[in-house]
């Protein structure tokens, strides 16, 4: 019994799920569910379909090259059973998983590094430019100009009065 990978979305196919399609050239396509199968029948390229692993790897959303991927490789030559080896392997699988998970997290964090700064900048810009949705431009200009005028007049009158005197 083996867990296979879905050809379209690269998720694991557990026993009892999915469909296998064998093409005339004897290439086997395995699908985890009908969604992937139907997408395949529509001749969609998984590298262009956003939610598949192929797309994510291609566009750098997910980690591509890592040492942890080397551990899991399909071996065609069977090994003679060794109890100790099996025990070690089982333990190793667990640690490798942990390491992989941590590395994925860092990858994601690095990807999202400049996001907050960018968002803030954009918010500031939007506020500056779209303020007319809240306050009409005419109203804003009038207020400022009125304020300026009043100040000037006061200043002159005091000067004149002084001069007359």
The residues binding another protein (CB under 8 A) are: 1-3, 12, 67-68, 70-75, 78-83, 85-86, 88-90, 92-97, 99, 102-103, 106, 113, 116-117, 120-121, 123-124, 126-127, 130-131, 133-136, 138-140
The smaller minimum CB distance to another protein, of residues 110 and 154, is found at: 110
List, in sequence order, every residue forming a beta bridge with 31; answer none if it has no partner.
Answer: 19
Query: Token pair 């050809």 is at which residue?
Result: 7
Shortest reach from residue 147's CB to another protein, in Å: 15
Shortest reach from residue 58's CB to another protein, in Å: 23
Shortest reach from residue 146's CB to another protein, in Å: 13
- Identify whether the C-beta of residue 70 lies closer than 8 Å to the C-beta of residue 41: no
Angle at CA 159, nearest 5°, toward 154 and 160?
100
The smaller minimum CB distance to another protein, of residues 78 and 149, is found at: 78
Residue 150, both tokens? 């009043």
- Identify whether the C-beta of residue 39 lies closer than 8 Å to the C-beta of residue 7: no
The smaller minimum CB distance to another protein, of residues 22 and 140, is found at: 140
The smaller minimum CB distance to another protein, of residues 3 and 42, is found at: 3
CA distance 13 to 3: 6
Shortest reach from residue 98's CB to another protein, in Å: 9
Phi, psi of 38 (to 5 degrees): -70, -35
Shortest reach from residue 73's CB to another protein, in Å: 6
CA distance 158 to 165: 11
The smaller minimum CB distance to another protein, of residues 117 and 149, is found at: 117
């Amino acid at each position: 019994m083996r867990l296979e990978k879905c050809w379209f979305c690269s998720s694991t196919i557990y026993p009892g799920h999915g469909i296998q399609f064998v093409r005339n050239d004897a290439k086997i396509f395995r699908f985890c569910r009908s969604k992937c199968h139907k997408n395949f029948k529509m001749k969609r390229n998984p590298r262009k379909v956003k939610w598949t692993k192929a797309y994510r790897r291609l566009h750098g959303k997910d980690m591509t090259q890592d040492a942890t991927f080397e551990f899991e490789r399909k071996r065609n030559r069977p090994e003679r059973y060794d109890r100790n080896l099996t025990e070690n392997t089982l333990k190793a699988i667990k640690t490798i998983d942990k390491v992989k998970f941590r590395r994925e997290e860092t990858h994601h964090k690095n990807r999202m590094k400049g996001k907050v700064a960018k968002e803030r900048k954009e918010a500031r810009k939007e506020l500056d430019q779209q303020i007319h949705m809240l306050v009409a431009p005419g109203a804003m200009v009038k207020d400022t100009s009125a304020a300026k005028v009043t100040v000037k007049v006061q200043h002159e009158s005091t000067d004149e009065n002084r001069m007359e005197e």
